[in-house]
Structures are given as C-alpha cells and as structure tokens.
Structure 1
C-alpha cells in the first residue's frame, strides 16, 4: 500500500496575494464574457421563437438558430495572433 503524500507546504503571502489578484482578473473577464454573450443568447432565443411562430419546424428553427449563434460567438471571440487588440 502506498503511503499518503505529504501535505502541501503553505504558500508565501506574496504568492497568495498574486493568486488573489489573478482570480480577480479571471472573475472580471468571466463576468464581461457572460454579459457580452447574454445578448447573443437572448437574441438567439427570440430568433428561435420567431421562426417557430412563422411556421418553421422546431428542428429547422433550432438548426438555423444554432448556426447563427455559433457563427456570432466565433465572430465576437478574439483569437490571439489574428489581428485586432491583443
């Protein structure tokens, strides 16, 4: 039977502060992405409902909405090395 691994050593206060700053930056970036993507997802929801109300089948409305959502998210997602602000 393998022995238990040793307890990790505690991190230095400056490392803890650095981790806290990075977590703050990550949380802010996630909140900004959620806010930006919410508009796209809400629009897609309305698009799907509108297509269905106009007589499109549920599967066709879903397929069109999925394609539009996917392409819109790709268009607004920055890719490092592909121009724009990096």
Structure 2
C-alpha cells in the first residue's frame, strides 16, 4: 500500500457524525418550515379554512422536502 492507512471509524465516531449531520440538517431546513408556517397563516388570513390552509401548506412542504432530498431536481 502507498501511504498510511486510516483505521475504520468506531461506532461512537459514526454516532457523533450522524448526530452532527442531523443537527446541521435541522438548521438548514428551518427556513423551509418557516415558509410553510407563513403560507398556512397567509391562507387563513385570506379566509381559507384552517383545515384547507394546513392541507395546502403541508402538501407544499412535503413536495419541497422531497425536492431537497433529491438534490433540487
């Protein structure tokens, strides 16, 4: 082999990496969740029923999260 080999990550290292990635993702997605909340409030202020406003905002949020999960395509 050429160069030093690195040991495989330990379960503790993997756990920390996953925890950090999840916290990073929560922070990145916060504006998306805020936009969905704002959309719901805006629709309700325009006279939409709370149920319909929640349905529309939820549908938009699910589609947006799916698009983000696919890399924006």
Q: Common fold, TM-score beyond 0.5?
A: yes
Q: Which TM-score band (shorter chain)?
A: 0.7 to 0.9
Q: Structure 1 residue 55 and structure 2 residue 62: aligned?
A: no
Which residue of the partner structure matches residue 37 of structure 1?
29
Which residue of the partner structure matches residue 64 of structure 1?
56
**Larger helix fraction of residues:** 2
Across the aligned residues of Structure 1 and Structure 2, the Cα RMSD in angstroms comes to 2.2
Question: Which consecutive residues of structure 2, in runs of 5 or more, have no partner in the other structure?
Answer: 1-6
Question: Which consecutive residues of structure 1, in runs of 5 or more, have no partner in the other structure?
Answer: 1-13
Q: Based on CA coordinates, which of the two structures has the bigger radius of gyration?
A: 1
Runs of 4 or more consecutive aligned structure 1 residues displaced over 2 Å after TM superposition: none
Q: TM-score, normalised by structure 2?
A: 0.77
